[in-house]
Amino acid sequence: MSSILHRGRSLATVRRLAGLAAFACVALAGCAGQEPPPPAVSAAPAAVPDAAALPSWQDGAARAAILKFVASVTRPGTSTYVPPEARIAVFDNDGTLWSEQPMPFQVLFMIDQVKNAAPHHPEWRRNPAFKALMAQDNAALARHSKELVQLLEAANSGMTTDQYDQSIRDWLANAKHPTLNRPYTDLVYQPQLELLSLLRANGFAIWIVSGGTAQFMRVWASKAYGIAPDHIIGTEEKLAYDTRGGKQVLIRKPGLDFVDDGAGKPVGIYRAIGRRPILAFGNSDGDREMLEYATSGPGPSLGLLLHHDNGAREFAYDRNAGSVRLDKAWDDAPARGWVVVSMKDDWKTVFPAPRPGSQ
């Protein structure tokens, strides 16, 4: 299914998928390798170089900036010391902790839910969006984005949260990425796993702050990242409290209560955490306000942006990549002191080695 969509030309359809209006929406054609010169990286050499830390990171300015920051906030008695309870790091998910091309994986899952539900909805055969989806007719899909959203909402709501969790697990156990040909949960970034470990070892609390939903991530994020269900902030779908079979449950409803993207991210962070983070890592303009918020507090802070400039190993997209483009945030980086991490130059490897039997 994704093969159709990533060949398309209009963003509008994907933008509105399932009402996840602000959810990371990738240029359907996307991924072209237009690469403007990166802004200067505002990193200084690490005060305390640690040869063993971040082994998948090249020994460059980005790694040095991270090590220097972690050392500076954990050294008691200095002016840059930050007590453990205030060491809060926030990470975007799609495109920052795992891949997001040809489009955010949650959207691919939601589309597959439509296909799975189709046998129970004979009436969909007359739905122009459904016909376009099955015929891989992307131009028609773009014309019928409203009907597509209705389809996605119908196929992704109405069940209990427990039932939906199970459908996410089932999908992840079987689905593979259309071009990288690996299970989606294999497409986490090895250098970021090392960064999470480094931060955790230095007393940081780590939170995901995503345009996707917490429900989609919670099913796999503990195993993939070591991040617990109560440390995931996301876009919030409507839920209704109800009784099914004599038990009290939560039922998924169409529509959104909160969009955790752009200026929504600081609000989501404040509501869930109640403190201003001191480290933020994103990869697109949807993360810009999160980085601003984290790096405009009174104490030391570090903002990081991952630049997808690596079509050979992953994908290459930035200013050209629709609504997940890295554009304004990239322009802001030098003046804000944000560190731009080049996937091509700063990472020795991108993905973990395939697990035996996972291919």
What is d(CA 264, CA 262) in angstroms, rounded to the nearest whole number? 5
The DSSP string of 50-116 is -TTSSTTB-SSHHHHHHHHHHHHHHSTTSTT---GGG-EEEE--BTTTB---SS-HHHHHHHHHHHH
The answer to whether residue 239 forms part of the interface with a copy of itself (CB under 8 A) is yes
The answer to whether residue 275 forms part of the interface with a copy of itself (CB under 8 A) is yes
- Using CB under 8 A, which of the segments 56-64, 70-78, 181-189, 211-219 binds a copy of itself? 211-219
**CA proximity to 308, closest of 15, 60, 93, 32:** 32
Q: Answer whether the bond into residue 45 is a cis peptide, omega within 30°.
A: no
Looking only at residues 142 through 171 of this chain, which bind a copy of itself when binding is defined by CB under 8 A? 161
The answer to whether residue 271 forms part of the interface with a copy of itself (CB under 8 A) is yes
Site string for a copy of itself, 187-206 (x = CB under 8 A): ------------------x-
The answer to whether residue 272 forms part of the interface with a copy of itself (CB under 8 A) is yes
- Using CB under 8 A, which of the segments 92-100, 119-127, 189-197, 269-277 binds a copy of itself? 269-277
3-state helix, strand, coil in the chain (%, to 5): 45, 20, 40
Task: State the amino acid at position 68 in one-letter form.
Answer: K
Q: Determine which residue in the list 172, 273, 319, 337 makes contact with a copy of itself, applying CB under 8 A.
A: 273
Looking only at residues 12 through 31 of this chain, which bind a copy of itself when binding is defined by CB under 8 A? none
Do residues 15 and 326 touch, judged by C-beta distance below 8 A?
no
The answer to whether residue 59 forms part of the interface with a copy of itself (CB under 8 A) is no
Q: Determine which residue in the list 258, 310, 337, 352 makes contact with a copy of itself, applying CB under 8 A.
A: 258
The answer to whether residue 216 forms part of the interface with a copy of itself (CB under 8 A) is no
Burial 317-347 (b: 16+ CB within 10 A, else e): bbebbbbbbbeebbebbeebebbbbbbbebb
Residue 229 beta carbon to a copy of itself: minimum distance, rounded to whole angstroms: 3
Q: Determine which residue in the list 215, 284, 301, 342 makes contact with a copy of itself, applying CB under 8 A.
A: 215
**CA proximity to 307, closest of 333, 278, 335:** 333
- Can you give the binding site for a copy of itself, defined by CB under 8 A? 85, 161, 205, 214-215, 218, 228-230, 232, 236, 239-241, 247-250, 257-258, 263-264, 266-267, 270-275, 289, 292-293, 296
